[in-house]
Amino acid sequence: MNWLTNFVLPKIRAAVAKRDVPENLWQKCADCGQMLFRRDLEAALFVCSNCGAHQRMTPEGRLGMIFDGGNYTTIELPAPAGDPLKFRDLKRYTDRLKEAQNRAGHPRDAALVAHGSIGSLPAVVACFDFDFMAGSMGQAVGEALLAAGRLAVLQEAALIVVPASGGARMQEGILSLMQMPRTVLAVEMVKEAGLPYIVLLTNPTTGGVSASFAMLGDVTLAEPGAVVGFAGARVIEETIREKLPEGFQRAEYLLEHGIVDMVVPRKEIAATLARIIRLLMSPAPSLAAATPDGRKTAF
């Protein structure tokens, strides 16, 4: 019996056990299932070499990709507002927050704000972290967007927002819905200062986020295949009892229907942003140069 339990059984268990792939070495493509060598995937900016699917990126990875030379400075954001409604479903909201922060390894919420330069021009970027409670927008994310807007105005910089979000954070109820007008105000501040506001829609951008600041870009870019919409496709199908068209709510479909200005592959995003910011921010050629005595003439 000992021989069976001590020798045979472990062998059988080992043979049938799921072999854990070291998480940091290989990553499975969420779309085609291909196993991808993590280092190659990182070098390809998390675009699957087999099917071209744009995989999720960390906010730090995105900021490094967007800013010149990967150099940026993050700003301190107001601490998350805790649990204003004492909300509890299967778990307390405070516990969910703590879990999300432990998993993410940082004490912040679902948005990260940084400044630096893009194409040698000043820029502020607010980037969402979908892995943090599905990038949902509560008070802390609203504060992050406001801080980003204020900083852009202060630095006379372009504001770029990179949402990846399931929408408003239900655990904060009406307070999360109020972040919709607040984030719109953040954007308005930047627009009133005559500074560019650019949105890069990533997969997925839905709910209250798509219904507020994410749809207000002076220029709206989207990553290939990104799902962008308000309600999910299945909910819409069930409500209107009709089959939705192929590719509904995907970036390419939205480009065809005028919601998105450009669908930009990830490796071209930094250069595209630099080009747009340069076009929108570089001063027009000075007329003073044309006057023979070099006097500055205001036009």
Which of 41, 53, 216, 280 is close enough to bind Zn ion by CB under 5 A? 53
Q: Smallest gap, in angstroms, from Cβ of residue 267 to Zn ion?
A: 16
Q: Does 71 participate in binding Zn ion (rule CB under 5 A)?
A: no
Number of chain residues interacting with Zn ion (CB under 5 A): 8
Question: Is residue 45 within the footprint of Zn ion (CB under 5 A)?
Answer: no
Q: Residue 43 CB, nearest distance to Zn ion (Å)?
A: 16
Stretch that binds Zn ion, among 48-56, 89-97, 154-162, 247-255 (CB under 5 A): 48-56
218 is an interface residue for Zn ion by CB under 5 A: no
The reply on whether position 235 binds Zn ion by CB under 5 A is no
CA distances from 178 to 160, 187, 211 (A): 21, 15, 12
31 touching Zn ion, by CB under 5 A: yes
Among residues 29, 123, 187, 251, which is the contact residue for Zn ion, using CB under 5 A? 29
Q: Could you tell me which stretch among 34-42, 138-146, 158-166, 282-290 binds Zn ion (CB under 5 A)?
A: 34-42
Residue 189 CB burial class (10 angstroms; 0-12, 13-18, ≥19): middle
Segment lying near Zn ion (by CB under 5 A), choices 30-38, 168-176, 198-206, 249-257: 30-38
Q: What is the per-residue burial (b if ≥16 Cβ within 10 Å, else e) of 80-95?
A: beebeeebeeeeebee
Quick one: which segment of 31-39, 121-129, 190-198, 221-229 binds Zn ion (CB under 5 A)? 31-39
C-beta separation of 209 from 169 below 8 A = no
Amino acid at the residue 83: D
Closest approach of Zn ion to the CB of residue 75, in Å: 35
| Calpha distance 47→7 (Å, rounded) | 44
The pair of three-digit structure tokens given for residue 128, joined into one six-digit string: 């969402």
Query: Cβ distance 134 to 166 under 8 Å?
Result: yes
Segment lying near Zn ion (by CB under 5 A), choices 47-55, 87-95, 141-149, 207-215: 47-55
* Cβ atoms of residues 217 and 205 within 8 Å: no
Residue 92 CA from chain centroid, whole number: 26
Task: Name which of 77 and 263 has its Cβ closer to Zn ion.
Answer: 263
CB of 282 to Zn ion, least distance (A): 39
Q: How far is the CB of 204 from Zn ion (least distance, A)?
A: 17
Per DSSP, 168 falls in state B
Q: Pick the piece of the chain touching Zn ion (CB under 5 A) from 33-41, 87-95, 164-172, 224-232.
A: 33-41
Name, in order, each residue with C-beta under 8 angstroms of 204's C-beta and a sequence gap of 6 or more: 130, 164, 165, 166, 226, 227, 228
Strand partners, 205: 165, 228
Does 224 help bind Zn ion (rule: CB under 5 A)?
no
Q: Rounded distance, CA 53 to CA 157, Å?
A: 32
The three-state secondary structure class of 58 is coil
Pairing of strands 72-74, 219-222: unpaired
| Closest CB to Zn ion among residues 47, 215 | 47
Binder to Zn ion among 51, 244, 271, 288 (CB under 5 A)? Answer: 51
Q: Does residue 48 interact with Zn ion by CB under 5 A?
A: yes
Instruction: Tell me which residues touch Zn ion (CB under 5 A).
Output: 29, 31-32, 34, 48, 50-51, 53
